Amino acid sequence: MTCPVPKDQQPLNEYIELKEAFFYRWAKLSRSQYLLILGRMWLGFTVVFAPVAMSIQSPSRHLWEFICVASVGGSVGLLFPTLLMLSGWNHVRQRLDSAKIFYEESGWYDGQTWEKPEADLAKDRLLVAYEIKPVMNRLQKTLLGIATFLVISLGLLNILG
């Protein structure tokens, strides 16, 4: 039985597209490359948030408080791309893990559902277990790390302020 799902809506093709996409492929990089990108993004968000931090704490009088506020801004900024990556990977995981695939033939008004053959479902679930779940675990740990950093930074702000 041939698959009636259009090529661009087939879960395996969605996975390939996602893992090759400039933004989403970051989550599959080596640990050091991934952390380097996160660090650069955090630094970029921190620099962008610095003017706001200056209006809250003067760097000339309260340097450590200013650094903490700017760091909180950078961390909050880092939450959004991390959540976006997690959302994209989760979408593909759900499509691969599902026994039934919803697809659109020519537009939003004519959706259909296709049930995967057992062999395809088994292959897709192996892909989820060995390729996607590790990426999602990494992204979840990243979110936990960001949340921990935020709690520590806010606690430090309370102590300093």
- pLDDT tens, 9-33? 999 999 999 999 999 999 999 999 9
Predicted TM-score (pTM) of this structure: 0.89
Q: What is the pLDDT of residue 108?
A: 65
State yes or no: pLDDT of 104 exceeds 80: yes
Highest mean pLDDT among 30-39, 66-75, 105-114: 30-39
- Buried-state track 53-80, b at ≥16 Cβ within 10 A, e below 16: beebbeeeeeeebbbbbbbbbbbebbee
pLDDT band at 57 (very low <50, low <70, confident <90, very high): confident
In the predicted model, what is the mean pLDDT of residues 97-107? 87
Q: How confident is the model at residue 47 (pLDDT cuts 50, 70, 90)?
A: very high
Residues 98, 115: contact at Cβ < 8 Å? Answer: no
Q: Which two tokens stand for residue 82?
A: 């991390």
Q: Is the model's pLDDT at 4 over the cut of 90?
A: no
DSSP calls for 90-156: HHHHHHHH-SEEEEESSSTTSEEEEEPPHHHHHHHHHHIIIIIHHHHHHHHHHHHHHHHHHHHHHHH
Beta bridge partners of 103: 112
Query: Quick one: what percent of the chain has pLDDT higher than 70?
Result: 97
State pLDDT tens for residues 112-156.
Answer: 888 999 999 999 999 999 999 999 999 999 999 999 999 998 888
Cα separation, 43 vs 18, in Å, equals 25
